[in-house]
Structure 1
Amino acid sequence: MKIRLAPVWEKDKEAILELLLSEKSSDTKVSVIPILGMGGIGKTTLTQHVYNDEKVQLFFDLKAGVCVSDYFDVVRDDLNLLQVKLKENLKGKKFLVILDDIWNENYHDWTILRAPFQAGGPGSAIIITTRNQGVSSMIGTTQAYRLQVLSNDACLSLFTTHALQTEDFSMHANLKDIGEEIVRRCKGLPLADYEFEEKQLVWLWMAEGLIQLQEGEKQMEELGSQYFHNLVSRSFFQQSSENKSRFLMHDLINDLAQSIAGDTCFKMEDGSEGSNKGKISKKARHSSYVVSSFDGTKKFEVFYQPNMLTCRYLTCTVPLQLLPKLQYLRVLSLSSYYITELPDSIGNLKHLHYIDLSHTLIKSLPESMTTLYNLQTLLLENCPIEKLPSTFANLLNLHHLNILNADLLEGMPPQIGKLTSLQTLSNMFVGKGTCSKVKELGPLSHLEGMLCILRLENVVESKDASDANLIGKPNLSGLMFEWCSNIIEPQDDESQHKLIELEVLDVLQPHHTLKELTIKCYGGVEFPTWLRRPSFPNMVLFPTFISLETLYFDDMWAWENWISYGDFPQLRQLYIQNCPKLLGKLPNHLPLLEKVVINGCWNLVVTISSFPQVCQLEIEQSKGVICRSKIHFSSLSFKCLSTISEFTRQIEGLTMEGLTSVEDLTIDGCEELMPLWSNDAGLKRPLPCLHVLNISNCPKLVSFVAEDVGEQLQLGFRSTFKEIKISNCIVLRSLPKTVMYNSTCLEYILIDRCDSVKYFAIGQLPPTLKQLEIQHCKNMLILLDDGDTNCLSSSTSLVDLTIIGCPSLKSLTSSGELPATLKYLHIWSCQKLESIAKRFHHNSFLEYVGISRCENLKSLPTGIHSLSHLDQIYLAKCPALDFFPDVGLLPANLRVLQIFDCEKMQALPNSIYNLASLKLLKISECPSIVSVPKEGFPTNLTSLYLSDLNINEALFEWGLHKLTSQKCLNINGFRILTPLKELLILECEKLSSFPKDGLPPSLLQLYVNGCPSLKERCKKDQGQDWSKIARIPCVWLDGKFIYDP
C-alpha cells in the first residue's frame, strides 16, 4: 500500500524538491543537501517521500539510498574496492544518493567517500540526514535544511493521517478526545515548555564545578560556551523557534539524562504539601523543586545536604531553618518567591557559587553575604532592592551581577572597581555620597554584553566619566546612557546642566565594535564629537560603526535632522520613537537592515526606497509613507501601518505589486478610508501573504471589501485571512460576504465598538472559525442568521465565544442551541440579555461558562448537569438570576464554582456535596442564600470563600456557623477539611482568636479582612496567635502581606 505523506510535511518536501530540481542545482556538478534535525523528528520519512516523488523519478538517471547510522570507517569497510566500479557506473549520469543518519565528522574520510561521486553529471545531488550540525556544515554545499519540531496541531494531523487516513476528526468526532489523549501521552509536542539561555546554563555548570580550566586555557565562560555549542550541534539542545537566543531540551533527551543521573539527582514535583513519597538518596548531589504557588515547611523536610535547591511563596521559616542545614550548597535559586529577607546565616554557606533572587521582594542583603568568597553569579533582576552591602567589593570572584530593573537601588556600593573578574554588569547606577562613581568602571576591563549606565545626572566632573574608559572595553556589545528627566530645580542654571551633559557624553565614547547604542533623556544641546560634526549642532552625524547592529533613538524632542556621513554595514534594527520634530532623510546605505520601528515622529515622511528589499516595517503616528520604487515596496514586510496622516492620499499607490509580502496589516486613524478592495479604487487583488487585518478608528469604512468585486477577487480570499479585527468603525454594518463565504483559514474575528452592527450572521461564518469576540456594539440585538433556525450551531469549529458590553443584546440565538464545538463562553455587561440558549444538551465540549453584569438574565439553560467537560462556572452581578436548572444538579467534574452578587440566588445546588472534583468554592454577596445543603460541602475542597451571606443556621460540624458574630473557630470542625489550602475570613468584626490547637496543617494561604481583633492577635512576632500562623507561607491581613515591613 502506498503511504501518503502527512500534510504537516508537505511544505518540507516541496522545499527539498526545490533545492533538488531548481535551475541553480542543475548548474552545479554535485550538490550536497544536508537535512538537520533531532532523532525521531522524521528526517528519514521525509527523504523517503522525496526519493519516491514522480518529479524526482523523471529528473535523475540513477537513484540509491543507504543508512549510514553505524560509525563508518573507510579502511574497515574496504571502500577502495568499490570506488572504481562506482565511478564507472556514475560517469556522466545525473544521480541522486541519500545517505541517512551520518555521524562521522572526519573531513578526510568524507573526502575519500565522495571521490567517485564527482564523476556524475551536472545536477547530481547527495542528500544527507544528520543530527549533528558539525556534519552538515562540513559536508553541505548548501545551507542545511533544518527540520522543525511539530506543533501540537501538526502532531494531531499526523496521527489522524496514519490512524484514520484523514486530515482531521471531522468525520470521526467521537474519536477526537481519545486521539488528543493518545497524542498527549505520546508527548506529541516534542519539546518541553521551559526555554533557557546559553549563559544561564553555562553559569550553572561553572557553579557546579563542571568546567575545569587547564593552565593557560581560556576563561570558564568561553570553555562552557564551547561545550554548549557542541551539544547544540549534536541536537542535544534545540534552538527555540520563537527566540533564537533561547534553547530547549527534547523530552526524550531529558528522560535519558535523568536516567543516567540516577540517584545523584533528586526532583520534587508533587505539588501537595508533605506528599513527597521517597526519601532523598544520600548519593544526591543535585536537588530541584518544581514550584508550587504556595509552599510550607513540610515540603523541604526531605532535604539533607543537596548541592542545588531551586524552590514561590515560602514561609519565612524555610530559609531560616533549611539553609543552615545545606552546608555544601553551591547553587541557590529562590527566583519568583514571595520572600522579603534572607537570614544572616547565609554567610556560612561558603561553597555557594550561584545565587538567584530575581523577582523576589528582597530589599536588602545581609552583610554576611560578602564573605561568600566563592560566589561567581548573583542575580537580582526585578528586585526592589534599595542598597547592596557596604563591603560588597569583597566578592572578588564575582563574574556576573544582574541588577536589571532594580530601579530602587540608590547607587553602587563603594569600590566596585575592585571586582576585576566581573564580566556581566547589567546596570551601573551612578549614585551620590559614598556610592561608587562612574570612574569605578575603569578597572573592569573584562565587561561584556550589555551595560546600562543610569543616573548620569549625578556625574559632576567629566574626568570621572573619562576614567570609566569605555573605549577600552571591546567586549561590550551594547551600551545605554540614561539621564533622569525633570532634575533641574528652578534655581539651577539649565544651560550649565546641558553643558555638563555634553562633556560627560563626549568622554563616554565606546569602542568601535559596539553593536547596540541607546541614549535616553539626554539634555545637551548638541551631540559629542564622536557622534557629530561641530558645524551641524542640530543634526546627528555618525561616523563608521562597522559592528553596530541595533540603534535606538527615544524621547529626543528637539531633534530635527539626521545626516549620516558613515556606513552602518551591520545594522539590523533601527528604532526611532517619540521624536516629534524629526525631518529630513534616514541613512541610505543599510544593506542588512531587518527591522524598522518608527513611532511618534509626526513630521517624518518615511521613504521606503531607503531600506533593503527584505525588511520588516512598523510605522505608526508619522506624517506619511512614500515609495518611489515598486521593486523595493513589493518585497518589504509591513508589520504595522497606522495613524499616518497622509496614508489616504497614497492608497491608490498601494497596488498588488506594492504589498505582496504584507503579513500583518494595521490601519488606524484613517478618516477617509473607504473599501480596501474594490473595482474602482484601491487594491484589485487579494494580498497572498496577508494573515492578520486590523482596522480601527476609520469612521467612513462601510466594508473593507466592496460588494461589486469580481469572482476572481472573491476566490482569492480563500487562503488569506487568519485573523480579522475591526474596531471603532461606526458605519460598519457587517463583514463582507465575499470573505465569509470563501475563506478556508479564518480562525479569529473581533468586532469592537461598531455601533451600526445589529446582528451577526453566524450561519455565514466560515467553518474554520474558532474564536469570535463581539465587544461594545451598543445596538446589537441578537446573534441571528436571517431566520435560519439553526444558525449558531452551524459553525462547526467555533471554540470560544466572547460577548462584552452589548447593552441592547437580548438573546444569543433564536435556535435555542449553542455550537456543539464550543468550549468557552464569556458574556459580560449585556444588561438586557434574557436568554443564552434553551438547553445545553449538545454542548458536551463546554469547559468554561462565565457570565457577569447581565441584570435581566433569570436562569441558565437546562442540561447543565450533562456537561461532562465543564470545569468552571463563574456568575457575578446577575441580580435576577434566582436558581440553577435541573433541580440544582451540576456536572460531576466541576472544579471551580464562583457566585458573586446575585441578589435573588436562593440556595446553593443540592448536589454540591457530591462534587468530588470541586476544589474552589466562592460565594459572596448573595443575601437570599440563608442556608446550606444539609449534606454540607464536599470534603475535597482546597479553597473556601464565604462572604456577606445571611446564613442563619450552623454549618454543622464545620465550626464556621454564624461567622458575623463568632468569637472563636472550632478546630474539630476543621479536621474534616484535610486538603484545605486556602482560608478567607472576611468582615467578622467580633472574631477574636483562632482555635486553641491552631489551623489545619494543610493550610498554605490565609486571608483576613475586616477582623480588627483577629488582626491584632496576628501581628508578626508579637501577636498572641502568631505562632499559629507563622508556618503559613502566604498570610494577608487587611490587604497587606504580613512579611512586608
Structure 2
Amino acid sequence: MAELFLFSIAESLITKLASHAFQEASRVVGLYHHLRDLKKTLSLVKAVLLDAEQKQEHNHELQEWLSQLKSVFYDAQDVLDEFECQTLRKHVLKAHGTIKDEVSHFFSSSNPLVFRSKMAQQIKDVSKRLDKVAADRHKFGLRIIDVDTRVVHRRDTSRMTHSRVSDSDVIGREHDKEKIIELLMQQNPNDHDKSLSVIPIVGIGGLGKTTLAKFVFNDKRIDECFSLKMWVCVSDDFDINQLIIKIINSANDASAPLRQQNLNMVDLEQLQNHLRSKLAGQKFLLVLDDVWNDDRVKWVELRNLIQEGVAGSKILVTTRIDSIASMMGTVTSHKLQSLSPENSLSLFVKWAFKEGEEEKHPHFVNIGKEIVNKCKGVPLAVRTLGSLLFSKFEANEWEYVRDNEIWNLPQKKDDILAVLKLSYDFLPSYLRQCFALFSLYPKDYEFRSVEVARLWEALGVLAPPRKNETPEDVVKQYLDELLSRSFLQDFIDGGTICQFKIHDLVHDLALFVAEDECLLLNSHIQNIPENIWHLSFAEYNFLENSFTSKSVAVRTIMFSNGAEVANVEALLNTCVSKFKFLRVLDLRDSTCKTLPRSIGKLKHLRYFSIQNNRNIKRLPNSICKLQNLQLLNVLGCEELEALPKGLRKLISLRHLDITTKQTVFPYSPLKFPALKTLYVADCHSLKSLPLEVTNFPELETLIVKDCVNLDLDLWKDHHEEQNPKLKLKLVGLWRLPQPVALPQWLQETANSLQSLFMMNCDNLGMLPEWLSTMTNLKVLIISDCPKLISLPDNIHHLTALEYLQISDCPELCKKCQPHVGEFWPKISHIKHVFIEEPEKLEEEEDA
C-alpha cells in the first residue's frame, strides 16, 4: 500500500530540486547538470504515477514496478538530504568554525573535492536506476495525469445502491429516522417559496447512512407526502448528463423504463427538457446517495435543473464529507452517530445466528459481546464480523475473530475494510502519507496537533508553505480536511493547538494502508521486516534482537506510548551503525544517564527527544553537529545541569523544549535563526529569558511553566520604538508565582498575538488596558488566577476574540456570568464563552 504515496514523494523531490537555494548550491559544487537530469526523469515518471496507483490493485507486475520506484525515490531523498547536510555544514563552519575545525573538515570525507566526486557518483547511480525503472512505464499503457484531482473515477459498480430495505434489517435507527422524516415533511415558511430544501446525512463509511436513507424512503408517510420519489446512487461520478439520465429513469414508472442507450443519444438540451417535464407539477423527494463531488459549480448546475417541482420538494443527500454536506445542505447536517452497545449486539446476533439459534449458544454470545466492542458502533463492521461467523460453532473460530485486528480478517469486496478504504482512496496524495503515520500510535491515543505537526515536518511529508504561511498553517489545513472527511473524532479546536482522536476502525485502516512502511511493535511481533521505514515501540524487552542486518531503511524510531527504554546506549549504537538516514528518534521516558558521542553521526536527524528522562545530567557536545535538527526536546529532564554551549550551531532548530538547572538561558550573541517554538518548564533556577528579537527573529510560540524564580520583565532594560518587534502568536504562562501583572514586552506583540494562556499565576492581580490593543487575539484562557478580579475596560475592542475561558478565578467568574455579571456586556460579543459557574466554585471551596 505504501506505493500509494509515490506521487507526493515525487512532488516533494521535484520541488526541492527546483528551489532557488538548491539550484544555487548545486552550481557552486558543480552538480547542477546532474541534478537537472534527475529532475527531468522524475517529472516523466510523476506524470504517470496517479494512473499507475489507480490501476495497481489488480496488476501484480505494476505493483512490482511501483515498489522498485519507491526504493529509488527513497534513495534519491537520501542523496539530496546528504547534499543539504553538506551545505548546512558549510554555513556553520563559516559562522562558527575555528581553524582547527576547517583543517579537520579539509581532511575528512566532507572535503569539497572529495564530496563533489562522491555526490556526483551517487547522483549518477540514482539517475541510472531511475532511468532504467522509468523506461518500463511504457509497458503498462499508463495515461499522463499531472494534477491529483481526487475524486478518482473508478466506476466501481459494487458501490451502486438501490432504495430497497427491509425494516427488520434496521436496528437502532428509529430516532434518526423520525428526525429525518420530520425535516422532510416540514413545510417551507412561504408557500410560494419553490427553493429546494436539501437535507444532508453525514458520517464515517459503514455507519449506515444509506440504510437510514432507505429506511426513510420506504416509510408510508413519505409516500403520502410526496407524489414522486427518486433514488440515485451518485458515487464518485458527478457527470451532469449521466445524473440527469439516472434521475429520469428513477422517475419513470417501473413498468415502462426508458432504454439507457436511447437516452445516451439525446443531447443535453433535450435531456433537460425531458427532466423538467418529469418534475413539473410534482412534489418530489430525490435521494442523492453517496456523494463525493466537492465542485460547487457542478452542484449548482444540477440544482438549477431540478427546481421544477412544486413547493415542499426535498432532496436527501448522504455523504462522508462535512464540506460537501455544508455546500449542498440548506439545513444543518444530520450527523449519524455510532450504534449503542446493545443495538450493536442485537445486530451482531442477527448476522451471526439463524433466528433463535443464539439461545442455544450463550458462550458464543458472550464472545460476541467482546467482538462487538472492537466494532465501536459501526454497523457495517458488526455485520462483517457477524456474517464471518455465521453457522460456525467452533470456539477457536470465534476466538480468532475476537483476538485479531479487523484488517487481518477475511474480507469481501463490500465489507467494512473495503468501504473504509474507499474513503482513503479519495484522499489527495499529500494527505495519504500523513494519514498512514497515524498507524505509529496506539488505539485511543489522544493526538495533539503540535506533536503531529512536528512528526510530519521532520519526515518531510508536508507540502511547502505558500507565501505568508507556516508549516503549522499547512498542518491545520490537513487536519481540517481529514476532519471534514470523517477521519478524525472528538476534535477540539483550541485555535493554535488542537487535539483529537481517531476511530478504532480508522486506526485499523491506517495499519492496513501503511503495513509495508510503518510498524507498531508489540510482543506478538518477533522480527522487523527488511523494508520497514517507520518503527514505533509499545515494548522494549526484545529491542536489539528485532533488527536484522538489512534494516538500514529505518527513518523513524519512537516510543509513542512512553515505554521505558532500559538500554538506550545500546539502542543508540544500533541506530548510529545501521540507520544512518534516521530522521526521527523519540526516546521519551528513557532512563539512561548519558548519551554516546556517536549520536553526532546521525546527520540526517530532524527530531530528537529524551523527554522525561529523570537521570541524564549532560548532553554530549556532538549533538551540536546535527545541523538538520529541527526539534530538540529535553523537557522534564530535571537533572540536566546545562545544555551544550554549541547549541547555536543548530541552525535548523525550529522547536526547543527544555528543562535545565541553569540560571541563565544557554544563548550566545548569535541568534537562533529558525526557532519558532520555545517551551521552558521546571527551570527552577532560571532568572531571566533573553527574549530580544535579535536572538529569536522567527519566534512564534512561547510557553513558560513552573519557573519559580523567573522574572519575565528582566529580559531587557529599555524599549525603543524603532527596534524590531517580536512576532509571537501564542504565549502561555503557567504556574508562575512571580508576575503580578503581564510583562510589558508582551505589548510588542499587539499585531501578531493570537492565543494567550494564563494559568495558575497566583499573584497575577490585574490585566493591563493595553491588552485591548491585541487586534488579532482569537483565544484567551485564564485559569486559577485567584487574585484577578477584573477585565480591562476596553476588552470589547478585541473584535477578533472567538474563544474566552475563565475558570478558578472566583471573583472574576462571578462578574463574568452570562447575562447577569457586570462584565458580561463587555464579553457577550465573543462567539465561544466558557465561564465557570459560581456554584461550582463554592462547592470546591466547601470540599
TM-score clears 0.5: yes
Partners of 1:198 and 1:574 lie apart in 2 by 20
- Provide, for residues 916-972 of structure 1, a one-character-per-residue CA deviation record: whole Å limited to 9, x for no partner: xxxxxxxxxxxxxxxxxxxxxxxxxxxxxxxxxxxxxxxxxxxxxxxxxxxxxxxxx
* Structure 2 Cα separation of the partners of residues 168 and 619 of structure 1: 54
Q: Which amino acid aligns with 1:240?
A: D
**Distance (whole Å) between structure 1 residues aligned to residue 190 and residue 232 of structure 2:** 23
Counterpart selection for 1:550 from 759, 765, 780 = 780
SS in 1 for 2:600: helix
Aligned residue runs from structure 1 range 814-829, under 5 A: none
Give 1:476's aligned amino acid: K
Confirm or deny that 1:390 pairs with 2:645: yes
Cα distance in 2 for partners of 1:525, 1:205 equals: 41
Whole-Å separation in 1 of the counterparts to 2:364 and 2:475:
48
Asked if 1:323 corresponds to 2:323, the answer is no
Distance 1:139 1:414, change over 3 A: same
Alpha-carbon separation, structure 2, partners of 1:564 and 1:213: 42
Out of 511, 519, 522, the residue aligned to residue 269 of structure 1 is 522
Give 1:492's aligned residue: none
For 2:628, give the aligned amino acid: N
2:756 aligned partner: 516
Partner SS, residue 313 of structure 1 = coil
Identify the residue that residue 869 of structure 1 maps to in structure 2.
none
CA offsets per residue over residues 145-166 of structure 1, 9 Å max, x none?
3323446555324324656799
Helix, strand or coil at the partner of 1:68: strand
Q: Distance in 1 between matches of 2:205 and 2:534?
A: 29
Which amino acid in structure 2 is aligned with residue 131 of structure 1?
A: R
Name whichever structure is richer in strand by fraction.
1
**Aligned-pair CA distance for 1:44:** 0.6
Separation (CA, whole Å) in 2 of partners of 1:586 and 1:178 = 59
Counterpart residue type for residue 32 of structure 1: V
How far has the Cα of 1:621 moved from its partner? Answer: 4.0
Q: Given residue 793 of structure 2, which amino acid in structure 1 is its aligned partner?
A: S
Tell me how far apart the structure 2 counterparts of residues 327 and 213 of structure 1 sit (CA, whole Å): 25
The 5 A counterparts of 1:991-1002 are none
1:549/1:571 contact within 8 Å kept: yes
1:552 CA drift (Å):
0.9
Q: Of 66, 83, 87, which aligns to 2:272?
A: 83
How many pairs are equivalent? 575
Q: CA-atom RMSD, angstroms?
A: 4.4
User: Within 5 A, what are the aligned runs for 1:857-1006?
Assistant: none
- Could you say what secondary structure the match of 2:291 adopts? coil
**Deviation at residue 198 of structure 1 after TM alignment:** 3.7
Who is 1:68 aligned against?
234
1:96 aligned onto 2:298: no
Kindly state the Cα deviation for residue 555 of structure 1 after the two structures are TM-superposed. 3.8
Contact 2:677–2:701 (CA<8 Å) still a contact in 1?
yes
The 3 A distance-change label for structure 1 pair 98 and 89 is same
Which of 140, 146, 161 lines up with 2:335 in the alignment?
146
Check the 8 A contact 2:585/2:607 in 1, yes or no.
yes
- 2:308 pairs, out of 103, 116, 119, with 119
CA-to-aligned-CA distance 1:330-367 (integer Å, 9 cap, x gap):
11122234444322211110011112323333444322
User: Is 2:806 the partner of 1:575?
Assistant: yes
- Looking at structure 2, the residues matched to 171 and 594 of structure 1 have their Cα atoms a distance apart, in angstroms, of 54
Q: Which amino acid aligns with 2:539?
A: S
Equivalences for residues 702-717 of structure 1 within 5 A: none
Q: 1:111 to 1:78 in 2, by over 3 A?
A: same
| SS of residue paired to 2:782 | strand
Question: What secondary structure is seen at the aligned counterpart in 2 of 1:47?
Answer: helix
1:12 is matched with: 176
> Is the alpha carbon distance of 1:320 and 1:515 closer, same or farther for their aligned partners in structure 2, counting shifts above 3 Å?
closer
2:413 corresponding residue in structure 1: none
Does the 8 Å contact 1:441/1:469 carry over to 2? no
Q: Counterparts of 1:293-692 in structure 2 under 5 Å?
A: 294-295=541-542, 297-300=544-547, 304-305=551-552, 306-311=554-559, 312-316=563-567, 317-325=569-577, 326-361=579-614, 362-384=616-638, 385-403=640-658, 406=659, 410-415=663-668, 418-427=671-680, 437-441=689-693, 444-448=696-700, 451-452=703-704, 454=707, 457-458=710-711, 461=714, 463-464=716-717, 466=719, 472=725, 476-480=729-733, 483-484=736-737, 504=744, 510-511=750-751, 514-518=754-758, 521=761, 528-530=768-770, 547-552=777-782, 554-557=784-787, 564-567=793-796, 570=801, 572-577=803-808, 579=810, 585-589=821-825, 590-592=828-830, 594=832, 596-598=834-836, 617=837, 619-622=839-842, 642=843
- Mark the CA change 1:345 to 1:141 in structure 2 (over 3 Å): closer, same or farther: same
1:565: Cα distance to partner?
4.0
**Partner of 1:128 in structure 2?**
317
The TM-score, its normalising length taken from structure 1, stands at: 0.48
What secondary structure, in the 3-state scheme, does the structure 1 residue paired with 2:624 have?
Answer: helix
1:50 aligns with 2:216: yes
Q: 1:544 to 1:400 in 2, by over 3 A?
A: closer
Deviations 1:267-313 (A, max 9, x none): 53335xxx715x532x33x1314312745533445673211112423
Distance of aligned partners of 1:528 and 1:199 in 2 relative to their CA distance in 1, 3 Å threshold: closer
CA deviation digits over 1:768-801, x for unaligned, max 9?
xxxxxxxxxxxxxxxxxxxxxxxxxxxxxxxxxx
Match of 1:490 in 2: none
User: For 2:731 and 2:631, how far apart are their aligned partners in 1?
Assistant: 20
**Structure 2 CA distance for partners of 1:377 and 1:153, relative to 1, 3 Å:** farther
Indicate the structure (1 or 2) with the bigger Cα radius of gyration. 1
Give, as a single letter, the amino acid of the residue that structure 1 aligns with 2:770: W
CA distance in 2, matches of 1:174, 1:105: 48
Kept in 1: contact 2:629–2:650 (CA 8 A): yes
Q: CA shift at 1:67, angstroms?
A: 0.8
Give the superposition deviation at 1:117.
1.6
| Residue segments in structure 1 that go unaligned for 5+ positions in a row | 486-496, 532-541, 599-616, 623-641, 645-668, 670-696, 698-1045
Q: Cα 1:400–1:167, aligned 2, differ >3 Å: closer, same or farther?
A: farther
Asked if structure 2 preserves the Cα contact closer than 8 Å seen for 1:387 and 1:409, the reply is yes
Q: Work out whether 1:280 is the aligned partner of 2:280.
A: no
Code of the residue aligned with 1:304 in structure 2: it is: S
Q: Is the 8 A contact 1:505 1:528 kept in 2?
A: no
Selected match of 2:326 from 105, 115, 137: 137
**1:366 corresponds to which letter in structure 2?**
P
The offset of 1:387, in angstroms, is 2.9
Find the residue that maps to 2:839 and give its secondary structure: strand
Query: 1: CA distance between counterparts of 2:736 and 2:332?
Result: 45
> Which has the larger share of helix?
2
Q: Which residue of 1 aligns with 2:455?
A: 204
Counterpart contact for 2:736–2:762, Cα < 8 Å: yes
Going from structure 1 to structure 2, the CA distance change for 1:167 and 1:363 (only over 3 Å counts) comes to farther
Cα distance in 2 between the residues matched to 1:456 and 1:348: 37
1:124 Cα deviation after fit: 2.0
AA at the equivalent of 1:342: L
Higher relative contact order (CA 8 A, sep 6+): 2
C-alpha distance in 2 between matches for 1:255 and 1:581: 47
Seen in structure 2, the aligned counterparts of structure 1 residues 475 and 5 have a Cα distance that, compared at 3 Å, is farther
Contact in 1 for aligned 2:813/2:835 (Cα 8 Å): no
**AA in 2 matched with 1:518:** M
Q: CA deviation at 1:18?
A: 3.8
- Alignment partner of 2:315: what SS? strand
How far apart, in 1, do the equivalents of 2:445 and 2:365 lie? 28
- 1:183 paired with 2:412, answer no
Aligned-partner Cα distance in 2 for 1:515–1:596: 16
CA gap of 1:548–1:220, structure 2 versus 1, over 3 A, is closer
Q: What is the CA-CA distance between 1:182 and the residue it aligns to?
A: 4.2
Change (3 A) 1:87 1:293: same
Counterparts of 1:68 and 1:582, CA distance in 2: 52
CA distance in structure 1 between the partners assigned to 2:671 and 2:477 by the alignment: 29
Give the counterpart letter for 1:20 in structure 2: L
Deviations 1:10-69 (A, max 9, x none): 333333334333456777621222222222221111111121233333332322111111
TM-score under structure 2 length normalisation: 0.58
CA distance in 2, matches of 1:304, 1:131: 39
Aligned partner of 2:490 in structure 1 is 240
Q: 1:580 to 1:140 in 2, by over 3 A?
A: closer
User: C-alpha distance in 1, partners of 2:803/2:473?
Assistant: 26
Change (3 A) 1:226 1:440: same
Greater shift in the superposed pair: 56-65 or 77-86: 77-86
